[in-house]
Amino acid sequence: MAIARPFRALMLLAVVLWCFFLYQIFKPTPTLHGPGDRYQNFERDPTLDPTGEPEGTLVRTSERYAPDAVDTDRIDATLLALVRNEEVDDMVSSMKDLERTWNHKFNYPWTFFNDVEFTEEFKRKTSAATNAKCHYELIPAEHWDAPRWIDKQIFDESAAALEKSGVQYAKMMSYHQMCRWNSGLFYKHPALARTRWYWRVEPKVHFFCDVDYDVFRYMQDNNKTYGFTINLYDDPKTLPTLWPETVKFLAEHPNYLHENNAIKWVVDDVRRPDHNKKAQGYSTCHFWSNFEVGDMDFWRSQAYEDYFNHLDRAGGFFYERWGDAPVHSIALGLFEDSSKIHWFRDIGYQHIPFFNCPNSPKCKGCVTGRLTDGEAWLHREDCRPTWFKYAGMG
């Protein structure tokens, strides 16, 4: 007896579906050993290689680093945070991580900044998280408020256009103020007048690795200016005129360009040509400045002071959304010796959604070689390969 054609079609479909089901169950498992093996930017992510302490002079803890030591080995440095009162619990979480992995050995002071007075709750919770001294500072209005040459109507119109194009925080005036303050005003606060070195720490970040040397002394003793962990591309929609303004500045001050600069990193158009084009000649590569260990003498230099003032008068901190990360990074890439910029590959760090997680027995809580635990497309935001190409891994 012949089988009806519709029934034969159904039987064939059932066989196909069954075969597909069996394939899904028994298909070979990809030979992946960790997130680093899936990495798109390197043949092998350098954080997968065994990581030790940096070369050079290293100073260990001693009784001279005790919180109340009079004859101390601590230098003029501070852990620095711009933070709101309502972020106190997230700030304490960050503090506990850094105290556990590093600062309980060295007891460097914490300096907190806010555009309003800190609450007693904030002071009580943060001071309880460390044995080191804590300082609570109010940002002067003249450092925080938009400068007098910023037109509020133009800001509102520009912010609306930026928001329509998908730029985050475009209409949030406080975000623009924060970027400007972090770019060129934090180191001018009277509380930091006698401080040279800083380590920026934000709420809700994580530190994963024990660090057994004085990071500030490492910077000083080995002639370093700036230290980073993560190096990313920025959104070119936030800064379309930042590089053109920089070019104008360089035309007026060609002598500020350092002979061993990293300008090729700043203007690279090979890895992300679309970014370079949209940013009018800037690669958008930047050191992710939520982690930075720096020498404020660089920001206080004449070259950087002139550069920041030029940018400030151009208005891009408000009419666009110039961030402190690209501003700092461009200045470092142009005006500083690139050998004085250090990748802290041994410091495990996370600021959502990116990691720096080295292969070291001193690290726990992160996955070696993992750049991000977010969407796969986030891997293309990594600009470390370009930095390593032009400046090395020092």
Residues annotated catalytic, as ranges: 292
CB neighbour list of residue 24: distance below 8 Å, 6 or more residues apart = none
Distance in angstroms (rounded) separating the CA atoms of residues 123 and 364: 30
- Amino acid type, 232: L
Distance in angstroms (rounded) separating the CA atoms of residues 229 and 289: 9
CB neighbour list of residue 364: distance below 8 Å, 6 or more residues apart = 208, 209
